Structure 1
Amino acid sequence: MGYIKGAFGVKGWVKVQPSTEYTDSLLDYSQWRLVQGNDVMMATLLNGHVANGELHVKFEQIQDRDSAALLRGYTIYIPREQFAEPDENEFYWTDLMGMQVHNRDNACLGEVINIMETGAHDVLVVKGEFGEKLIPFVSQFIDDVNELTQTITVDWGVDY
């Protein structure tokens, strides 16, 4: 969901680089899982705001700049049980990652290894036997997303 860029101020605030659609989306979640290597900690969000396009947050457990500075580089995860249910035909990127992509001829194009935001629409990055494919995640090309079987069916040729 993002990472901690460093300390902000002297009272334990941190600067966050979110990888969410909206800069302040992470403020909707009260518990954050912070991970760096084998070090994992749960942090309780006390306060937060956006200033000059940058997200600043204060955790209940962090009281000073030195403690905040130690969080630099931690990756932010939100426990799945806190996610809101997506609307019909909407998906969290994390749910699409790793899905197998097949075309209408049942040829396996590969696995979703990344998703790019282009502004107009999201694009699946699929890697497999036929190389890397960039498939727009729009109804014109996406026939079905089956979360149960972890497959996506697309209208996309192996030679595109």
Structure 2
Amino acid sequence: MAQAGRRVLIGRIVGLYGVQGWLKIESWAEPRMRIFDYQPWLLSAAPGKEMEITGAKGRQQGKGMVAQLPGVDDREQAAALIGSDIHVDREQLPPPGKDEYYWVDLEGIEVVTTENVELGRVSHLFATGANDVVVVRDGERERLIPFIQGSYVRSVDLSAKRMVVDWDPEF
């Protein structure tokens, strides 16, 4: 169950394309072109500097993607947006499948061992080549736990905001 008002980082503006205001973007949607289905976008270049965009259009361009944003008609306007993160409201995304989770939904939930030893709360997650990793903090220490369901992650209950892991509390 998603928390209202949460935002999901779904992409980033990484460069310029041409002279008519087109931008190169990175997309973390699956498949990548789905980023254009989730609008409006909230662009944030710096804290407190946010801009809502509706009507972004784009296409594959070589190995990357390019986008045209409404009201951005020249290279100078586009250059000001390089480095902006692209966020969308969590509610815009489709529900995850069985045993799938959006990282934003896991952030902040309590993490306990199979013996009910409290390890802390999920701070964030990150991807590695082999698997995703859950960063659990308790104020004193930080633990990096592989997010491998069945092996280390035994259960996730979003409504109870609780994750049970098979993990040595001393590690």
Query: What is the TM-score when the length of structure 1 is the normalising length?
Result: 0.86
- Residue 123 of structure 1, aligned match among 129, 133, 139: 133
Letter in 2 for 1:156: W
* Residue matched to 1:157: 168
Q: Give the CA deviation at 1:129.
A: 5.4
Distance 1:71 1:152 in 2: 38
* Residue matched to 2:22: 13
Distance 1:95 1:119, change over 3 A: same
Q: Give the CA deviation at 1:61.
A: 2.6
RMSD over aligned Cα atoms: 2.0
Q: Secondary structure at the match of 2:105?
A: helix
Question: What are the ranges of 5 or more consecutive residues in structure 1 without an aligned counterpart?
Answer: none
State the structure with bigger RCO (CA 8 A, min sep 6), 1 or 2.
2
Question: What are the ranges of 5 or more consecutive residues in structure 2 without an aligned counterpart?
Answer: 1-9
Letter in 2 for 1:30: Q
Q: Secondary structure at the match of 1:57?
A: strand
Q: Aligned pairs, how many?
A: 160
Query: What is the TM-score when the length of structure 2 is the normalising length?
Result: 0.81
Q: Within 5 A, what are the aligned runs for 1:6-155?
A: 6-20=15-29, 22-35=31-44, 36-128=46-138, 131-138=141-148, 139-155=150-166
Distance 1:19 1:112 in 2: 21
Identity %: 34
Distance 1:13 1:43 in 2: 14
